[in-house]
């Protein structure tokens, strides 16, 4: 073994004991890429009102319609990019494909500064999403392969938890630029600098190199092997359904926290502009803090309780916290107190995808299978998003009721998890 994955297994002591400097470096680089991945997704969510009001005109009533349409396009682009680059990462290596995906979402994010038509935004969001979807699958596979078994769940959950700094960065950028939304997208060019760091620091893992040299290297990244092999096909399809629940509820329920706060404040007589600013703060910083704690906590809970128990527990508690958040608070201060719990349980499950999906597939299909689950889930989440948009747009319908009804999607995640295997304490499949 070399520095890419050599660590003496020792079940005594803290999980980080024996983790090498190179392994920490890989986690840091993967996390930096994921921070900007999340920034690219969240910056649109936070600036879309100003962007679409600018492009459509002050009096247009189609802001929400086009906003949700572009989110659906983003999910579609993430699916296409994730499946494409996940397969390529298994065929040609993690490092080179990570470079391509980071460059892709950086360039097209920066180009959004020049968008003047709706079709410009649609096309650019699609290409940004392709890079974002691909980078996550590659980075998640890289972290899983580099870290030892006893530290894998913790490292993977830390990796995914860095979505919170990405959300904070987007929230701060949105607040700073105000209505000048174009400048927020120029920040998205910065991750291109990561490419130099990736090329200089990241090595291909021993697992991937061994697989590349083996007799089965022709199956690397093969969707045929993934979907026609009974052992992997069931895991891939169930994993995709599990991700669809999380991603669908993210856009329908978790991201709805901003609109929930805004609608409640307006019903309490707060000015619309002030309600919009307060909603950005509550969602982008306060709720995101609770979500970040949930993401970090998910890995240690997986290590202690097992993957299945942790997933099921979070789904149950998410169904409970959503109606409480919708109907219990009577003041803005009360909302700020409960939103961290809302974020903890509705967002925390997402760390499980980075922990769990790479553990379901062998080396020659790891990035492909991981991407199929997560990004295939994006595609299945599109109709959930569109249905959510229609439900929330029904005239006279209480937004709280809509969010509560959508939270029942978490029940599907519980059912799916019952049919998936437990991977705690097991080596990665070869």
Listed residue (25, 150, 134) closest to 82, CA to CA:
134
Q: What global pTM score does this model have?
A: 0.84
d(CA 195, CA 201) in angstroms, rounded, equals 10
pLDDT band of residue 11 (cuts 50, 70, 90) is low
Structure tokens at 168: 């904070």
Q: Would you say residue 402 lies in a domain?
A: yes
When pLDDT is averaged across residues 168-180 and rounded to a whole number, the result is: 87
DSSP characters for 15-84? TTTT--HHHHHHHHHHHHHHHHHHHHHHHHHHHHHHHHHHHH-TT-S-HHHHHHHHHHHHHHHHHHHHHH
Q: What tens digit of pLDDT does each residue of 190-240 get?
A: 888 888 889 889 999 888 988 888 756 678 899 999 999 999 999 999 999
What CA–CA distance (Å, rounded) separates 23 from 335?
40
320 assigned to some structural domain: yes
Which structural domain, as residue segments, surrounds residue 102? 21-201+212-417
| Residue 429 lies inside a defined structural domain of this protein | no
Total count of domains within the chain: 1
pLDDT of residue 99: 92
Residue 427 counted as domain residue: no
Instruction: Judge whether 118 and 162 are in contact, CB under 8 Å.
Output: no
Task: Please indicate, yes or no, if residue 207 is contained in any of the structural domains.
Answer: no
Confirm whether 390 is domain-assigned: yes
The alpha carbon dihedral of 340, 346, 349, 350 has a sign of negative
Instruction: Say yes or no to pLDDT of 147 above 80.
Output: yes
Half-sphere exposure of 29 (CA within 13 A, CB side): 29
Q: Render 382-405 in DSSP notation, one character per residue.
A: HHHHHHHHHHHHSTT--HHHHHHH
Provide the token pair at 252: 């329908």
| CATH number for position 346 | 1.20.1250.20
The answer to whether residue 46 sits within a structural domain is yes
User: Are the CB atoms for 97 and 134 separated by under 8 Å?
Assistant: yes
Express each pLDDT in 65-86 by its tens digit.
788 788 889 888 988 999 999 9
What was the pLDDT predicted at 393? 77
Question: What is the distance between the alpha carbons of residues 212 and 104, in angstroms, rounded to a whole number?
Answer: 26
Res 151: pLDDT: 93
- CA separation for the pair 159, 161 (Å, rounded): 6
Domain for residue 35, yes or no? Answer: yes
């Amino acid at each position: 073994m070399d520095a890419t994955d050599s660590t003496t297994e020792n079940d005594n002591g803290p999980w980080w004991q024996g983790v090498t400097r190179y392994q920490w470096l890989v986690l840091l680089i993967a996390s930096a890429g994921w921070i900007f991945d999340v920034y690219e997704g969240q910056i649109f969510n936070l600036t879309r009102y100003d962007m679409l009001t600018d492009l459509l005109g002050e009096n247009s009533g189609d802001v929400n319609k086009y906003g949700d349409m572009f989110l659906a396009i983003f999910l579609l682009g993430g699916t296409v990019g994730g499946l494409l680059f996940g397969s390529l990462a298994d065929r040609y290596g993690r490092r080179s494909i990570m470079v391509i995906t980071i460059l892709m979402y950086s360039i097209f994010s920066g180009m959004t500064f020049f968008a003047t038509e709706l079709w410009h935004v649609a096309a650019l969001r699609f290409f940004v999403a392709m890079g974002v979807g691909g980078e996550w699958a590659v980075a998640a596979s890289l972290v899983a392969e580099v870290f030892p078994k006893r530290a894998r769940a913790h490292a993977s959950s830390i990796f995914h938890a860095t979505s919170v700094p990405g959300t904070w960065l987007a929230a701060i950028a949105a607040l700073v630029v105000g209505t000048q939304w174009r400048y927020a997208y120029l920040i998205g060019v910065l991750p291109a600098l990561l490419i130099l760091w990736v090329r200089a620091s990241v090595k291909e893992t021993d697992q991937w190199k061994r697989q590349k040299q083996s007799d089965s290297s022709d199956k690397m990244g093969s969707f045929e092997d993934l979907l026609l092999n009974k052992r992997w096909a069931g895991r891939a399809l169930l994993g995709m359904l599990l991700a669809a629940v999380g991603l669908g509820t993210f856009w329908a329920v978790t991201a709805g926290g901003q609109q929930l706060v805004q609608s409640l404040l307006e019903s309490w007589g707060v000015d619309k502009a002030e309600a919009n600013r307060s909603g950005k703060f509550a969602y982008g910083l306060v709720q995101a803090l609770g979500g970040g704690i949930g993401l970090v906590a998910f890995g240690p809970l997986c290590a202690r309780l097992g993957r299945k128990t942790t997933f099921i527990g979070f789904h149950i508690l998410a169904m409970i916290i959503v109606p409480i958040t919708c109907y219990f608070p009577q003041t803005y201060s009360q909302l700020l107190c409960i939103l961290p719990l809302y974020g903890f349980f509705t967002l925390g499950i997402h760390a499980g995808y980075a922990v769990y999906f790479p553990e379901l597939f062998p080396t020659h299909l790891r990035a492909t299978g991981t991407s199929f689950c997560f990004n295939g889930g994006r595609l299945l989440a599109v109709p959930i998003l569109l249905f959510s948009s229609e439900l929330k747009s029904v005239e006279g319908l209480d937004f709280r009721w809509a969010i509560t009804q959508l939270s029942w999607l978490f029940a599907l995640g519980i059912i799916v998890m019952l049919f998936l295997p437990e991977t705690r304490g097991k080596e990665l499949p070869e």
